[in-house]
């Protein structure tokens, strides 16, 4: 498939995990991809192995000035932006009485505010291109477990923000979300095999997902194949949320 031939995409948090799989997928389908991340070393590896054109741009997505610099660079180099994948996040643990206020702010800034900033920086370009946005939310937007105070709030806000942006920028820009369940990225590296097996058992699929499985859902929503889908959220969770027992 070459669904992104001639398109320019910006993928945040593209140096690892789901973001890296998305960069690789979009580039393999013809997109020029700007990988926006704070980790230049990991980003360089992704860019070197991807089949296609991948440019790294150092961007802390919680900073509007860095979004503006990114937008300027892409416009100077290609003159259009067709797709934004807002995927970067921050996670700090703690119940409300344990969570330092600065951790709350960091999680909300990187996980929620960044999508607003990305849209603020790129709205004009995405509108001109009749483009699309895909935000990476989470099952934590819809169901809870202890310790995820700030993350759950950020993801719940992100799911609502996606609907808001879809309304605001229609009909030119489609805005959708994916809501991954447990996906085998580095955040699972510290979990013991028994914990992984337990979580796998809570899904209908009986296993953790792969980053590529989320990337293919993101690519679908970003592509013209999803031309009549906007304001939607697609679970990519192996059935994690529909299971009662
Ligand atoms: N892995 C899972 O089980 C899971 C489940 C549900 C949702 N998600 C969501 O999927 C997305 C990706 O998760 P992952 O597990 O692939 O993550 P990951 O930790 O593998 O990769 C995250 C990337 O974001 C980058 N990043 C962090 N802070 C940044 C900042 N301020 N600016 C720019 N880049 C920054 C990191 O450098 C890294 O490359 C996140 O939105 C996460 O909430 C993941």
CA 158 to chain centre: 11
**CA–centroid distance, residue 242 to ligand 1 (Å):** 24
Listed in sequence order, the DSSP H helices in the chain are 17-28, 40-49, 64-77, 101-108, 114-128, 149-169, 193-201, 211-222
Q: Which domains does the chain have, with CATH numbers?
A: 8-236 (3.40.50.720)
DSSP-derived pairing of the beta strands 32-37 and 233-236: unpaired
Give the residue, by CA position, lying nearest to ligand 1 atom 21.
Answer: 16
Question: Is the CB of residue 118 below 6 angstroms from any atom belonging to ligand 1?
Answer: no
Average pLDDT, the chain: 98
User: CA end-to-end span of the chain, whole Å?
Assistant: 39
**CA–centroid distance, residue 87 to ligand 1 (Å):** 6
DSSP label of 204: S
Give pLDDT tens digits for 120-149. 999 999 999 999 999 999 999 999 999 999
Question: Is the CB of residue 39 below 6 angstroms from any atom belonging to ligand 1?
Answer: yes
Atom of ligand 1 nearest to the CA of 155: 43
What is the rounded CA–CA span in Å between residue 177 and residue 161? 10
Q: Is 103 exposed, middle or buried (0-12, 13-18, 19+ CB in 10 A)?
A: middle
**Mean pLDDT value of segment 183-193:** 96
Give pLDDT tens digits for 202-221. 999 999 999 999 999 999 99
Q: Which of 17, 54, 141 is the best mutation target for the ligand 1 pocket, counting ligand atoms within 8 Å of the beta carbon and taking the most?
A: 17
Token match 């990988």: residue? 35
Question: Is the CB of residue 22 below 6 angstroms from any atom belonging to ligand 1?
Answer: no
Question: Is the CB of residue 144 below 6 angstroms from any atom belonging to ligand 1?
Answer: no
Structure token pair of residue 37: 């991340």
Question: Is the CB of residue 17 below 6 angstroms from any atom belonging to ligand 1?
Answer: yes
Contact 84, 9 (CB under 8 A): yes
Residue 239 CB neighbour total at 10 angstroms: 13
Strand order in the sheet with 174-180: 53-58, 32-37, 8-12, 83-86, 132-136, 174-180, 233-236
With a cut of 90, say whether residue 245 has pLDDT above it. Answer: no
At 65, the pLDDT band (50, 70, 90 cuts) reads: very high
- Listed residue (36, 15, 127) closest to 85, CA to CA: 36
**CA–centroid distance, residue 43 to ligand 1 (Å):** 13
With a cut of 80, say whether residue 174 has pLDDT above it. Answer: yes
Question: Is the CB of residue 186 below 6 angstroms from any atom belonging to ligand 1?
Answer: yes
Classified as helix, coil or strand, 52 is coil
What is the rounded CA–CA span in Å between residue 29 and residue 216? 11
- The dihedral through the CA atoms of 111, 138, 94, 199 has a sign that is negative
**Percentage of the chain with pLDDT > 70?**
100
Catalytic residues: 151
């Amino acid at each position: 498939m070459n669904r992104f031939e001639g398109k320019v995409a910006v993928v945040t948090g593209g140096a690892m995990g789901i973001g890296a799989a998305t960069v690789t997928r979009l580039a393999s389908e013809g997109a020029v991809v700007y990988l926006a991340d704070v980790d230049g070393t990991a980003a360089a590896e992704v860019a070197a192995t991807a089949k296609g054109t991948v440019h790294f741009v150092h961007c802390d997505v919680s900073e509007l000035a860095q979004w503006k610099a990114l937008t300027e660079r892409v416009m100077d180099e290609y003159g259009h932006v067709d797709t934004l994948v807002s995927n970067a996040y921050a996670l700090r643990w703690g119940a409300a009485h344990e969570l330092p206020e600065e951790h709350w702010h960091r999680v909300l800034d990187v996980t929620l505010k960044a999508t607003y900033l990305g849209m603020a920086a790129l709205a004009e370009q995405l509108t001109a291109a009749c483009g699309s946005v895909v935000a990476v939310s989470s099952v934590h937007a819809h169901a809870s477990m202890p310790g995820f105070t700030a993350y759950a709030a950020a993801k719940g806000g992100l799911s609502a923000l996606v609907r808001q942006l879809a309304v605001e920028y229609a009909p030119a820009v489609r805005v959708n979300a994916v809501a991954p369940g447990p996906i085998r990225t580095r955040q699972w590296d510290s979990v013991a095999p028994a914990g992984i097996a337990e979580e796998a058992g809570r899904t209908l699929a009986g296993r953790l997902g792969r980053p590529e499985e989320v990337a293919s859902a993101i690519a679908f929503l970003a592509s013209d194949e999803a031309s009549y889908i906007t304001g939607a959220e697609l679970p990519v969770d192996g059935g994690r949320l529909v299971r009662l027992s």
